[in-house]
Amino acid sequence: MISEKAKNISPSITLEIGGKVKTMIANGEKITNLTLGEPDFFTPSKAKLAGIKAITNNLTKYDLSSGNLELRKAICEKLESENNIKYTPDQIVASNGAKHAITNAAFAVINPGDEVIIPVPCWVSYPEIIKLAGGVPVLVPTKKENSFKMTVEDAQKYITEKTKMVILTNPNNPTGAVFTKDELLSICEYFTKKGIIIMSDEIYESITFDFDFVSVASLSKEIYDNTIIINGFSKCASMTGWRLGYSACNTEIAKSIASIQSHMTAHPSTISQQAGIVALRECKDDVLTMKNTYKQRRDYIVDFFKNWGKLEIIYPQGAFYAFIDISPLKDKLNSDKLSLKFCNDILDKEKLALVPGAGFFEDDFVRLSYAASMEEIKSGLEKIKHYVENL
């Protein structure tokens, strides 16, 4: 009864840990949970009030399938003022979250059998979305020494005549790495000259700490024409449950994305869109407060691992994750599923929940989220230290 396409989707490797955490919490156990991929802040008050106002004013009817025009204008304003990129509203499609925007874009450009370059470690949904769109995910290993940021040399050997698209995530989940302008320019010029479409997932762009974020489409006119930007409101404005994202790209692709969305879901919630307009135009101080708080937590975590000296992390320059190298523990844990073994053990013994790196296609690491209170972070770090030193 099940379609071959559905059968081809891989179950999440982290479901075992997630289910275990839920069971333990339901049984009354106190768990330090550092797995979350969403901000620990509430949606800014002005955005929430805009949502309430939208309901009160009966802005609850169908709108344009590509999204409310005023929202798309606000997105264009944001892209020009913050990223130095000019788009028009017909190049923007508002979607039901950034994940939906990625799916729309994949369906718009991928034909059956097209290959898509995905550097790993990567967010778990990319390969599955590509498979749903009929494409073939090509996982490209990257180097720890370069913070797992893909280079031209990493990608070259995986490119074939079937390569249609590459997915770049900047800042990165799970590593927290951020491309510099020169790094981006090198790899994006290469893909553009090859005629390979760039999908740039920039959902964490507001959370960068050490230098200014650079959007791929701002690099040159040629790269702009060849790029699909993906972004949204979940991370920058802590609007995860509102389900609001968007894509920005050339007019031809945008028209195709809008057409696909019109048949599959139409526009996102009109209420969410009104909140999104205000989030973009009136909540910059809230976004900055969140960013500064994450930076304080990042700095504490970096200092902890540096002073402890037993395990290393990829230095996180953005997002809210620390990617911890547990390869020194291989002999002690003695498992062919290192990150799953580590996460199960530390959950049982220390009541600490982390995400196994195997879920991101990098089994020598685990991911710690610092979208949590400083109290929880300090507790989690001490639990890691206690666990490792008592192996």
pLDDT tens digits along 335-360 = 999 999 999 999 999 999 999 999 99
∠151-156-158 over CA atoms, to 5°?
A: 115
Structure tokens at 40: 């620990």
Hey, what amino acid is at 386? H
Helix (H, G, I), strand (E, B) or coil at 206: coil
Q: What percent of the chain has pLDDT over 70?
A: 99
Hey, what amino acid is at 257? I
∠35-124-96 over CA atoms, to 5°?
A: 90
Hey, what amino acid is at 88? T
State pLDDT tens for residues 79-123: 999 999 999 999 999 999 999 999 999 999 999 999 999 999 999
The rounded distance, in Å, linking the Cα atoms of 103 and 129 is: 6
Give the residue-averaged pLDDT of 2-9.
87
The reported pLDDT for the residue numbered 266 is 96
The rounded distance, in Å, linking the Cα atoms of 362 and 348 is: 22
At residue 11, does pLDDT exceed 80?
Answer: no
Instruction: Provide the residue count of the chain.
Output: 391
- Sign of the torsion angle spanned by Cα atoms 203, 355, 316, 302: positive
Instruction: Enumerate the H helices of 133-240 as residue ranges.
Output: 152-156, 181-193, 221-225
The reported pLDDT for the residue numbered 19 is 81
pTM as predicted: 0.96
Hey, what amino acid is at 293? T
State pLDDT tens for residues 144-201: 999 999 999 999 999 999 999 999 999 999 999 999 999 999 999 999 999 999 999 9
Give the residue-averaged pLDDT of 351-376.
97
The reported pLDDT for the residue numbered 201 is 98
The reported pLDDT for the residue numbered 20 is 86
The reported pLDDT for the residue numbered 30 is 95
Q: What are phi and psi of 284, to 5 degrees?
A: -65, -35
- Please state, rounded to an integer, the average pLDDT across all residues of the chain: 96
Beginning with the edge strand found earlier in the chain, give each strand of the sheet holding 321-325 in spatial order: 312-314, 321-325, 365-369, 355-356
The reported pLDDT for the residue numbered 13 is 74
At residue 17, does pLDDT exceed 90?
Answer: no
Band of residue 10 on the pLDDT scale cut at 50, 70, 90: confident
Radius of gyration of the chain (CA): 21
